Structure 1
């Protein structure tokens, strides 16, 4: 009888522990249930020819765990993030590895240090701007702040990395806010000069402009949208990428062939995820 009671006690203690883990969540700093445990989801490879752009919205209330899960669902080789705080991106990167088995390198194109955007101490606020996550190592990073950011500092970044088994120059930008057309025109002039140096390039970003906006003409002269049907014409209907039903987010291709693309609505940002499979060879 004593043995039965002790065995019952051990079963009860085990059940209580299991409930606590579910309710409280992981206790190890890497997100595993215990230090040294395997990731919650089995590791899998990224899609080697897939690229993604996503304005992750800042400030928004969505958790970095949820943002990582959205990215992991499509497992792109390269992700360009806008409105990105360094601390948030680091957490997203950790969750991608620890919870989804997806390992990425990261480079930043921060143009602003702002407590209201990214937290931190008032005398040491977090960095804000763009980020690129890449499954392959990145080289030759540049980060450029536009001479005029409009109502907030803006810029672009670029790296060389591997997509579809080939080296390619990848740009990521966030242009000035809506109703600042003349500012965006100057920004795209700066950006187009940089992109024009490369025969093969992928340009990701939130351009805050619809396809037929005059300020995008310099970009259209160099590259095409991943959607072959989307062109700078008022008579062409391009798939919207924002909650207000405008196409502001782009994957522009120069010397790269589009294969397929998808826009994925998300509850975690006011911009949808846009990913594209491309042929770089």
Structure 2
């Protein structure tokens, strides 16, 4: 009897993870993709590794929650660009587990994962009422991660918010990576305090990458402490308008950033997607 791929991924622990996913892949070949509303879409599935990760590429992506998106499709979107590091926001831990498994089994891309859970929320992430799913940030990295720190901001606004920080490898060099999601739009007073907390920690590092959904446009005053420490990967994006700034959301605002401290951008791209209300922003870096 075939195991549904999403259900199989829940069983992914230890050495059994690859076996379960392999069984799921074989079942998929026999019975085809699931019906609408299931884990899988009708799109053709790759059966071989698509490429290695790009070692100096980092990505930020708000997955959108709640949204009717397949984790298999999310994995395919990430694999298309194959970043070394991916920072996800509005991420359910179970979804991230599945995305990671699909990246490995269907695309040959192997990632480590760290979670920055700020809520245990049944309505956001499902699970049993007595064991709701974890919701918050997550980081995937092709290299191992160390020195994990998960911080919940003192005041989150209408929903708990925080940042996740790890040390990992980008472009062959050790880099401190932060991933955050700030308070919702029209909650500037909360974002101001959150940025102060985040900037205070970023300032401790000579080389850092700060990923996230900041829910604020580049000239929003609450972002000033970060602009004082770092630059955005988009050279046209500054607190004062100096050129065309790429937008990153369905409502055509720039809310998603890759702030760089002690690291130079090489190239960046906003990759449109139908699987979230935020596009993916990724950048290639010169960490030397």
The TM-score by the shorter chain falls in which range? 0.7 to 0.9
1:33 matches 2:29:
no
Q: Which residue in the other structure is 2:140 paired with? A: 133
1:25–1:33 Cα contact (<8 Å) kept: no
| SS of residue paired to 1:161 | strand
Q: Which runs of 5+ in 1 are unaligned?
A: 1-20
Match of 1:108 among 108, 115, 129: 115
Output the CA distance in 1 between the equivalents of 2:232 and 2:27. Answer: 45
Residues 205-225 of structure 1, C-alpha deviation per residue, up to 9 Å, x if partnerless?
A: 000000000000000000000
Q: Which runs of 5+ in 2 are unaligned?
A: 9-18, 29-45
Q: Which residue in the other structure is 2:42 paired with? A: none
1:154–1:176 Cα contact (<8 Å) kept: yes
Q: CA RMSD in A?
A: 1.9
Aligned residues: 256
Q: Which residue in the other structure is 1:195 paired with? A: 202
Match of 1:70 among 69, 77, 84: 77
Output the CA distance in 2 between the equivalents of 1:164 and 1:207. Answer: 25
Q: Where in structure 1 do 4 or more consecutive aligned residues deviate above 6 Å?
A: 24-28
How many angstroms does 1:235 deviate by?
5.3
CA gap 1:176/1:29 in 2 versus in 1, 3 angstroms: same
Output the CA distance in 2 between the equivalents of 1:34 and 1:44. Answer: 24
| SS of residue paired to 2:259 | strand
Residues 121-158 of structure 1, C-alpha deviation per residue, up to 9 Å, x if partnerless?
A: 11110000000000000000000000000000000010
TM-score (norm 1): 0.88
Output the CA distance in 2 between the equivalents of 1:44 and 1:217. Answer: 38
2:50–2:79 Cα contact (<8 Å) kept: no
| SS of residue paired to 1:71 | helix
Output the CA distance in 2 between the equivalents of 1:34 and 1:88. Answer: 21
TM-score (norm 2): 0.86
1:52 matches 2:59:
yes
| SS of residue paired to 2:66 | coil
CA gap 1:25/1:146 in 2 versus in 1, 3 angstroms: closer
1:109–1:143 Cα contact (<8 Å) kept: yes
